[in-house]
Structure 1
Amino acid sequence: MDHPAPESEEPVTGSTKGLKLRHLVEAVALIPVLLVLSLLPLIRPATARPAPTDAVVVLSGDHGERLPVAMSLVEKGLTRTLVFVGTPDRVEEDQLCQSPGDVEYICLRPKPDNTRAEARAVARLAKSRRWTNVVVVTSRFHVTRSRLVFRRCLDAEVRMMGGDPPYGREVLVRQIRLEWAKVIYTVVSGPDC
């Protein structure tokens, strides 16, 4: 008596090798899409609308795009305190910090001069002044990482505003690539300030 051959439990749809190759091609095709999506927060980061704040903080590295944004907030009466943190980029910063007036200008010079040290210095000042919110002004491509670092360090609400640096396309692309690597490092280095 002949017994029929057992039916296969899995339908035959193609070779396993072909299926693996297809998955590999799909994964490789996604790489450029993921790369572009990961760059969007550096090119078009979410930024705050002008609103009253305890202080406006200007990060070092200004090439003419940061101070005007900060001064516009002061001129609109949205703050009475403007903090310059890091190595002075413009002569006006030190002059403002030495000038008494209706607006308080503070110059902080943390060492080393980097975003994390700037955030720590501002965090100490914010805690001593009992600030509940600050606006941090930086270059647009630097907003995403600065937001991440400042939110880790401050117990206050952190809102970000970015200016567009007067770089040529080549320099801006280089800056964005460098900032992208720094964002990755900041994310993987852990949640500590």
Structure 2
Amino acid sequence: MNNAASNSTQNSKSLLQGCLIFLLVILVVFILVWVGLIGAGAYLIVGDRVKPVDAIVVLSGDEGDRVEEAIKWYEKGYGKYLVITKTHTEDIGEGQTYSEKLMRIAIDAGVPADSMFVTAGESSSTIEEAMAVKVLAKQRNITSLLVITAPYHTRRTQMIFNREFKDSDIKVLVHPVEESWYKPLTWYLSPQGWRQTLAEYASLLLIWFNA
């Protein structure tokens, strides 16, 4: 009886130890995955220190938070002009084009119409946007730019603009929308966060492979 009781106690202890080890492993894996997800989101976000520039560039691709960020810096005196990129998504079915919608937001906020430019053509990628901005900057004798885009888009934007402008005398700064839904600590909690993050890493891989 004593041996049976002893064996039962040992088995219970072994089972308890096994459960604790299993839970510990699960906890460690959870923490590693959590830290990895945060790191994946944080890696995409870069931002130069904002300095006064000739023009603040708004990359198209949202419902207005990028242009609102640009307006904020314009009102603080960090830019003389606002540049809006025209893309292939111009037709938004609201009786106006997408770039016109962004210009209207800026005008309603007090930005003079003669202080805004729209790039020529319709860009279908960030690379084409960078090329269009470069052409406009040279035409307007603009020597410095502050490019505003979504946080998850900043690293790729910085890479593309730095490459496109490396042989020019035009200085480029990149800055994220500060009041954005996309944050390293929470992006993975929404389907939109997963879509944007995976899409950005796919685009970054293409840039790295084609470098």
- Report the TM-score when normalising by structure 2: 0.63
Name structure 1 gaps, 5 residues minimum. 1-31
**Matched residue, 1:132:** 143
- The partner residue of 2:199 within 166, 172, 178 is 178
- How far 1:161 moved relative to its partner? 1.1
Quote the offset at 1:80 in angstroms: 1.3
The amino acid of 1:53's aligned partner reads: V
| Alignment match, 2:85 | 85
Secondary structure in 2 matching 1:57 = strand
Counterpart of 2:172 in structure 1 is 158
Whether the 8 Å contact between 1:54 and 1:131 is mirrored in structure 2 is yes
My pick for the range that moved more, 134-143 or 165-174, is 165-174
Deviations 1:114-167 (A, max 9, x none): 111110011112223333321100000000001111111122221111115447
In the other structure, the counterpart of 1:110 is 121
Q: Distance in 1 between matches of 2:200 and 2:99?
A: 23
Counterparts of 2:111 and 2:67, CA distance in 1? 19
Q: CA deviation at 1:187?
A: 2.0
Taking a change above 3 Å as real, the CA distance of residues 132 and 109 of structure 1, as seen in their structure-2 partners, is closer
Q: Percent identity?
A: 28
Which residue of structure 1 lines up, in the alignment, with residue 42 of structure 2? 40
Aligned-partner Cα distance in 1 for 2:113–2:64: 24
Please identify which structure carries the higher helix content: 2
For residues 90-122 of structure 1, what are the alpha-carbon distances to aligned partners after superposition, in whole Å with 9 as ceiling and x for unaligned? 65424458x993861011243342111110011
Say whether residues 1:145 and 2:130 are aligned partners: no
Matches of 2:78 and 2:84, distance apart in 1: 17
Q: Is the 8 A contact 1:86 1:113 kept in 2?
A: no
Deviations 1:53-72 (A, max 9, x none): 01100001023321111000
CA contact under 8 A between 1:82 and 1:106: conserved in structure 2? yes
**Residue 60 (structure 1) aligns with:** 60
Q: CA RMSD in A?
A: 3.1
Q: TM-score, normalised by structure 1?
A: 0.69
May I ask how many residue pairs the two structures share in their alignment?
158
